[in-house]
Every structure is written in C-alpha cells, then in structure tokens.
Amino acid sequence: MVDAITIGADGAARCAWPGDDELYVQYHDQEWGYPEGNDNKLFEKICLEGFQAGLAWITILRKREHFREAFSSFDCNKISRYGEKEVQALKSNAGIVRHEGKIRSVINNAHRAKELISEKGSLKNYFWYFSQFVTDGPHDKLPAKTELSEVISKDLKDRGWTWVGPTTVYSFMQATGIVNDHHLECHIHKIVQSERESFMKSLQG
C-alpha cells in the first residue's frame, strides 16, 4: 500500500492507497482499521488475507461476496466439515481465487480455529490479547511486517495454521484494528483510534 495522503472528491484527506475506486474508498472509510471482535469476521479476514498473498487486495475485495457464499460465510464449524467434494467444487468456482493450496488452507485453518476457540474461548480473545503489545503509533512508512506479527505468525504456525506468514498476519492486524495504520492526517485516523480505545476498554471490563 502507498502510505501517503490524498484529497478525495469529497474534500476529505485520506490514505492514498484506495485511489478513487468507490469500493476501495468505502472499505477504507468504513471498515479498514476498525476494531473487529466477531469470530466469523476475524476468521474471514485472516483467510482472505491468505488468499490475497501475491495479489492486489482490491481483487479479493471485489470477490468477497463470492468468497462468503463459497465458504459458508466463513463459519469455521461448517467449513471444518468440508471434504474432497467441496474442495473440487471450490477449485471450479470462478467467483473466487481458485488456488488449491489456499482453498485447502481455509479448511485446515477452520479446524485450527475451532481448537483455538476451545482453548481461548474465542478468536477475539486470542488475537486481541496481542493488542497490548502494540506500542508504536502510525508508521512514517508502513511496514510489510513487524516483530509482533512475526510472533503471532510463529504461534499460529506452531498451532498448525497455514498461509499465515508475518506479512499476511500484519495485514490482518491492520484490517481488524489491532493496529491503527491510518495516516495521521487521514480523517479516519481519529475515528478509528477512538473506536479502538473504546473496544480495548470493553475487553478489560
């Protein structure tokens, strides 16, 4: 992503990476960086970040509704019951990215997510535990990964997750608000920061 500021047609300053694509701008303004605590959404986001590896995020965003339909709204309980029949159907689904390794990874990770939920109570409990270790503010230049994303990536891999490298994990952290990487001059930065602080207080309560 290009970590600069642009002034949109609406006169608002925002991160430059969405450009003027309406869907991308909507995603930036209404979703990216906002704290996410719903387990299905967290699972969806980490799976889609895995699918995004090697591709542009806008490609995944444009296919997201197809992904949701194909993968049972990313309900890990349902996906964990997928077998070879479902794999072959997904491989022939033109609405998604037909990468067999990534498809099988989602199914594998559904099993691992169920194990994590059994251990930690929820994916929210697991992932947001790490938010307390986010000490640096918005970066002058957005990194591809951080020491914390490397820690989370290693832990997930040790638990049997796949397609969760440190770069994928950091993109997930940005998308779910675990870190707020909206540019300081972006008009969404303060909104996200306020929601993130409120969300983290609710976790402590």
- By annotation, the residues acting in catalysis are 27, 49, 57
Nearby residues of 120 by Cβ (< 8 Å), 6 or more positions away = 126, 129
Nearby residues of 173 by Cβ (< 8 Å), 6 or more positions away = 130, 134, 148, 149, 152, 179
How far is it, in rounded angstroms, from Cα 86 to Cα 78?
Answer: 11
Residue 88 parent element (H or E) = helix 84-91
Residue 3: CB atoms within 10 Å? 16
Q: How far is CA 10 from CA 7, 18, 19, 183, in A?
A: 8, 14, 13, 18
How far is it, in rounded angstroms, from Cα 68 to Cα 149?
Answer: 26
Nearby residues of 89 by Cβ (< 8 Å), 6 or more positions away = none
Q: How far is CA 69 from CA 39, 85, 90, 152, in A?
A: 17, 16, 11, 28
Asked whether 29 and 171 are in contact (CB, 8 A), the reply is no
